[in-house]
């Protein structure tokens, strides 16, 4: 049997008991004959506590030092997991990101994995040991400094390592049973999906489903790596994230809609009264790009012929709101717009499903469901397998419930599940 | 001006306020024109907390993993100190033991420094930065695994780094004002020493004075590195530990006795009725050496001619008591002794002073003081600049006070001082 990579989030290793439970599960997998490589996050709230400590010392700490600080978190959890495995009579060795060969770019706090050279991991496996690897961290090729991959990126470490090692599967453990058709806190009748394609999972992650990190799914899709999303608190099968099935399989097995995702983390900016000339929109978005702001959805209203002016609305991560407004204010005279509007009372609701590719009428059914529930749509954006709308934040729950019901996703029975954060 | 190495113990960096205070002191030194390299311990009780966590997971954790775990402590404190310095507008970079080039042997938990290759530290200094280095840790040359140097060894890191960098001085900061003539908790009239020789400090450390780690003083003596022991809570001058003065200087400046040290961490084992034959004592101590037990003082009683048997007593670290007794029990028939006695109710009191070399009568004066105070002496051991006696543990305080007074060490006024642990 081949290599299994398992990733355990912070909630799974929150205390000594959790660590022992995780160790037992790892040993069980080993006993089934697999070589096991484990990626761990920091224990419980450790990362947040370290951030708090940094803030007490410096409101704007140097990114290199913040990475040095935060990487202590996984160091603690990985050593403890290795100890707990040894206590069960199995060989285990822990490795930092650097020791595991996770080579990254040099952007502290949001480094990207450039390559993985897992020589020490392979040696540990050859030596009969279970390798425990720190998630979320790596080492910069240029400066040899310790880097972090950004929040939630332990999932990415796990999938990238699985790809580099040629693993059979990457199991992502958290306190959630799998991927659901909607957030069960909003839709109690949401169902756990048995399988979902990389493509759909990508759209789910991009649309606000927090169960898997976006970059991790991108990585898995690129390398065709199966992911098994499951709970470390039960032995139930979770959700398999797999390469998309062929057309025929799809027609037979695939539901039209996989799920309804929502996202409350965005804000909307409207630039009112932009002169309707070629290049004005480009100038606005260049300004935002220069300020490092990531744009999500964009809508340009039809120009009122009388004024030859137009309104441009876009959504962006709420935390980028202040810097975006400041950047736009600086180019006010240059662009010649009339005023800026900022709205952080919005939410995004997305319908995801590869089946919609071949089924017409999905959009109208979705909009009809929202209209029937009294929800007003502010912006619309679509891809081949996703439709997203921006609504008032107060309407998000209603919209998610209405869409979930309209597309027949409601389960007959309510599953007992807590849909929480996944650690990182 | 040259390089100053400063070492801050755990009590000095116990919280965000402590870290900011330490950062300010570092920056002040920098402003005086020095290049500054800082060695830090883990914050407050972090190391003990991590040990507790390890114990919850495994009663006997693999040493490699314990080192991986414990080294997270300095990683946290060093990053925070670097952030606090940056916040004061100065450049700072933190370095792990491995990054700082602290190359050690492979014995986890008690590795020894083999060499220091501080290339990255020198580059940081050349770049105008203050370098913050994790104490207590290094990297094994053979396995490339992270090692720790053993409890209290951050002092050793600091002195070794100071020697490798050719620093002017190594300042060791703790919550104590300097080296005292005795523990002020026992002798309220103890005085702070302005200076003491490496040699005497070595005997003090070996005799139980906890202010400096033994290996650190050995290192300083070998490399003629001046140490300035001082408090991070005040700007007062502390105690300078310096190369021994020449004979003439010594006669003029040096007190006969530098101080009275005590040690409650030892136990005594007596092997009763050992056949008085050549090689029996050697066999006993070889047995103990094989069991990894460190022996301190040894006394062999005069043989009773009638029985041709003798008693051998020795002291050892109390925590080695069980393994020593077990090792000796195994060779009982081989050695043919009558029985073993174990006594952990002992204490060692030592008189230290380079002046005693040229002053006769010190020993008799010391013993007379103890006798006058009603203290019974169980064992005696002497070096050129030290006399140690083993007494009942209940008599330690009385013995220290009596010796301190007899040699005129009492101050006229009691200094306000807390004599606590120094972190590590």
User: A414 vs B191, which has greater pLDDT?
Assistant: B191
Task: Say what the pLDDT of residue A304 is.
Answer: 60
Residue A409 lies in a domain: no
* Distance between CA atoms of residues A367 and B311, nearest Å: 97
Residue B308 lies in a domain: no
Residue B181 lies in a domain: no
| Residue B154 structure tokens | 């951050």
Do residues A55 and B48 lie in contact, with contact meaning Cβ atoms separated by under 8 Å? no
Predicted confidence (pLDDT) per residue in A32-88, tens digit? 999 999 999 999 999 999 999 999 999 999 999 999 999 999 999 999 999 999 999
Task: Say what the pLDDT of residue B424 is.
Answer: 38
Residue B61 lies in a domain: yes
User: A199 vs B299, which has greater pLDDT?
Assistant: A199
Predicted confidence (pLDDT) per residue in B224-278, tens digit? 999 999 998 899 999 999 998 765 555 455 568 999 999 999 999 999 988 888 7
Q: What is the ipTM of this complex?
A: 0.80
B89 reaches A (C-beta below 8 A): no
Residue B215 lies in a domain: no
| Residue B102 structure tokens | 């602290």
Q: In chain A, which among 128-157 make CB contacts under 8 A with chain B?
A: 144
Asked whether residue B181 carries a pLDDT value surpassing 70, the answer given is yes
Predicted confidence (pLDDT) per residue in A193-208, tens digit? 999 999 999 999 889 8
Chain A residue at shortest CA distance from B18: A57
Asked whether residue A363 carries a pLDDT value surpassing 70, the answer given is yes
Q: In chain B, which among 238-297 make CB contacts under 8 A with chain A?
A: none
Among A56, A64, A92, beta carbon nearest to B93: A64
Burial of B107 (0-12, 13-18, 19+ CB in 10 A): middle
| Residue A124 structure tokens | 């540990």
Task: Say what the pLDDT of residue B249 is.
Answer: 58
- The percentage of residues in chain A with a pLDDT greater than 90, rounded to a whole number, is 72
Three-state DSSP class for residue A193: coil
* Distance between CA atoms of residues B37 and B35, nearest Å: 7
User: A383 vs B82, which has greater pLDDT?
Assistant: B82
Asked whether residue B420 carries a pLDDT value surpassing 80, the answer given is no
Task: Say what the pLDDT of residue B248 is.
Answer: 54
* Distance between CA atoms of residues A116 and B287, nearest Å: 50
Do residues A208 and A348 lie in contact, with contact meaning Cβ atoms separated by under 8 Å? yes
Task: Say what the pLDDT of residue B41 is.
Answer: 95
B65 reaches A (C-beta below 8 A): yes
Task: Say what the pLDDT of residue B150 is.
Answer: 78
Lowest mean pLDDT among A16-25, A268-277, B165-174: A268-277
Lowest mean pLDDT among A98-102, A260-264, B306-310: B306-310
Three-state DSSP class for residue B360: coil
| Count of Cβ atoms closer than 10 Å to residue B112 Cβ | 15
Residue B64 lies in a domain: yes
Task: Say what the pLDDT of residue B292 is.
Answer: 85
Nearest-CA neighbor of B285 among B312, B303, B322?
B312
What are the distances in angstroms from CA B245 to CA B198, B226, B253? 10, 13, 9
Gyration radius from chain A CA atoms: 23
Give contacts of B74 with chain A, Cβ < 8 Å.
Answer: none
Taking the CA of residue A115 and the nearest CA in chain B, the distance in Å comes to: 21
Asked whether residue A15 carries a pLDDT value surpassing 80, the answer given is yes
User: Would you place residue A254 in the very low, low, confident or very high pLDDT band (cuts 50, 70, 90)?
Assistant: low
Three-state DSSP class for residue B389: strand
Task: Say what the pLDDT of residue B419 is.
Answer: 44
Helices (H) and strands (E) in chain A, counts: 14, 20
Lowest mean pLDDT among A62-66, A124-128, A304-308, B63-67: A304-308
B169 reaches A (C-beta below 8 A): no
Burial of B323 (0-12, 13-18, 19+ CB in 10 A): middle
Do residues A157 and A71 lie in contact, with contact meaning Cβ atoms separated by under 8 Å? no
A195-197 β-sheet, strand order: A92-95, A130-134, A35-40, A3-8, A169-174, A227-231, A239-242, A195-197
Residue A392 lies in a domain: no
What's the mean pLDDT in B204-220? Answer: 89
Lowest mean pLDDT among A337-346, B148-157, B303-312: B303-312
CB contact under 8 A, B68 and A50: no
Query: Which of A15, A20, A57 would best serve as a mutation to test chain B binding (most B beta carbons within 10 A)?
Result: A57
| Residue B352 structure tokens | 């230290």
Nearest-CA neighbor of B297 among B378, B381, B377?
B381
* Distance between CA atoms of residues A76 and B146, nearest Å: 13
Beta bridge partners of A6: A38, A171
Chain A residue at shortest CA distance from B66: A79
CB contact under 8 A, B57 and A87: yes
Do residues A248 and A296 lie in contact, with contact meaning Cβ atoms separated by under 8 Å? no
Task: Say what the pLDDT of residue A249 is.
Answer: 58
Region at A44 (left for phi over 0; alpha for psi -120 to 50; beta for the rest): left
Task: Say what the pLDDT of residue A250 is.
Answer: 53
Task: Say what the pLDDT of residue B304 is.
Answer: 60
B86 reaches A (C-beta below 8 A): yes
Give the count of domains, chain B: 1
User: Would you place residue A382 in the very low, low, confident or very high pLDDT band (cuts 50, 70, 90)?
Assistant: confident
Look at strands B227-231 and B169-174 and give their pairing: parallel
Taking the CA of residue A319 and the nearest CA in chain B, the distance in Å comes to: 23
Separation of CA A350 from chain center:
15
| Count of Cβ atoms closer than 10 Å to residue B176 Cβ | 27
* Distance between CA atoms of residues B87 and B91, nearest Å: 9
Asked whether residue B24 carries a pLDDT value surpassing 80, the answer given is yes
User: B283 vs B57, which has greater pLDDT?
Assistant: B57
CB neighbour list of residue A415: distance below 8 Å, 6 or more residues apart: A177, A184, A190, A191, A192
Predicted confidence (pLDDT) per residue in B355-381, tens digit? 887 787 888 899 999 999 999 998 998
What's the mean pLDDT in A10-27? Answer: 96
A57 reaches B (C-beta below 8 A): yes
Task: Say what the pLDDT of residue A150 is.
Answer: 78
Asked whether residue A244 carries a pLDDT value surpassing 90, the answer given is no
Asked whether residue A189 carries a pLDDT value surpassing 60, the answer given is yes
Buried b (16+ CB within 10 A) or exposed e, B396-417: bbbbbbbbbbbbebbeeeeeeb
Task: Say what the pLDDT of residue B418 is.
Answer: 46
Whichever domain contains B113, its CATH number is 3.40.1160.10
Interface A-B, measured as beta-carbon pairs within 8 A, has a size of 111
Task: Say what the pLDDT of residue B1 is.
Answer: 74
Task: Say what the pLDDT of residue B100 is.
Answer: 97
Residue B25 lies in a domain: yes
Task: Say what the pLDDT of residue B174 is.
Answer: 87
Asked whether residue B301 carries a pLDDT value surpassing 80, the answer given is no
Range(s) of the domain holding residue A12: 3-251
* Distance between CA atoms of residues B299 and B271, nearest Å: 11
What are the distances in angstroms from CA B293 to CA B284, B285, B290? 12, 9, 8
User: Would you place residue A306 in the very low, low, confident or very high pLDDT band (cuts 50, 70, 90)?
Assistant: low
Asked whether residue B30 carries a pLDDT value surpassing 90, the answer given is yes
The two most distant CA atoms of chain B are separated, in Å, by: 80
Predicted confidence (pLDDT) per residue in B112-139, tens digit? 999 999 999 999 999 999 999 999 999 9
What's the mean pLDDT in A144-160? Answer: 90
């Amino acid at each position: 049997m081949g290599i299994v990579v398992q990733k355990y989030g912070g909630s799974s290793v929150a205390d000594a008991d959790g660590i022992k439970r995780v160790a037992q599960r790892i040993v069980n997998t080993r006993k089934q004959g697999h070589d096991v490589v484990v990626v761990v996050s920091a224990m419980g709230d450790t990362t947040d506590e370290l951030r708090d400590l940094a803030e007490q010392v410096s409101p704007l700490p140097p990114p290199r030092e913040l990475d040095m600080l935060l990487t202590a978190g996984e160091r603690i959890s990985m050593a403890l997991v290795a100890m707990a495995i040894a206590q069960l009579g199995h060989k285990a060795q822990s490795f930092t990101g650097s020791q595991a060969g996770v080579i990254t770019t040099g952007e502290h706090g949001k480094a990207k994995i450039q390559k993985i050279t897992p020589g020490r991991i392979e040696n540990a496996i050859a030596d009969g040991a279970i390798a425990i690897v720190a998630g979320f961290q790596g080492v910069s090729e240029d400066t040899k400094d310790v880097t972090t991959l950004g929040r939630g990126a332990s999932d990415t470490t796990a999938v990238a390592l699985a790809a580099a090692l040629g693993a059979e599967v990457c199991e992502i453990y958290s306190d959630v049973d799998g991927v659901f058709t909607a957030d069960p806190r909003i839709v109690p009748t949401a169902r756990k999906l048995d399988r979902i394609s990389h493509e759909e999972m990508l759209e789910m992650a991009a649309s606000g489903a927090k169960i898997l990190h976006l970059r991790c799914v991108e990585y898995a899709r690129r390398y065709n790596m199966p992911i098994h999303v499951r709970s470390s608190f039960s032995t139930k099968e979770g959700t398999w994230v797999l390469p998309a099935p062929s057309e025929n399989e799809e027609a037979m097995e695939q539901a039209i809609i996989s799920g309804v995702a929502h996202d409350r983390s965005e804000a909307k900016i409207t630039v009112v009264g932009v002169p309707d000339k070629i290049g004005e929109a480009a100038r606005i978005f260049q300004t935002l790009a220069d300020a490092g702001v990531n744009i999500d959805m964009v809508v340009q209203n039809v120009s009122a012929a009388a004024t030859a002016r137009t309104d441009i609305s876009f959504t962006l991560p709420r935390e980028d709101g202040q810097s975006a407004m400041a950047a736009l204010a600086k180019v006010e005279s240059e662009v010649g717009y009339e005023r800026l509007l900022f709205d952080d009372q919005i939410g995004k609701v997305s319908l995801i499903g590869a089946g919609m590719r071949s089924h017409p009428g999905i959009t109208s059914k979705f909009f009809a469901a929202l209209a029937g529930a009294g929800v007003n749509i502010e912006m619309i954006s679509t891809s081949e397998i996703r439709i997203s709308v921006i609504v008032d934040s107060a309407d998000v729950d209603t919209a998610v419930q209405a869409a979930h019901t309209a597309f027949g996703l409601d389960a007959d029975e309510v599953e007992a599940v807590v849909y929480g954060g996944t650690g990182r």
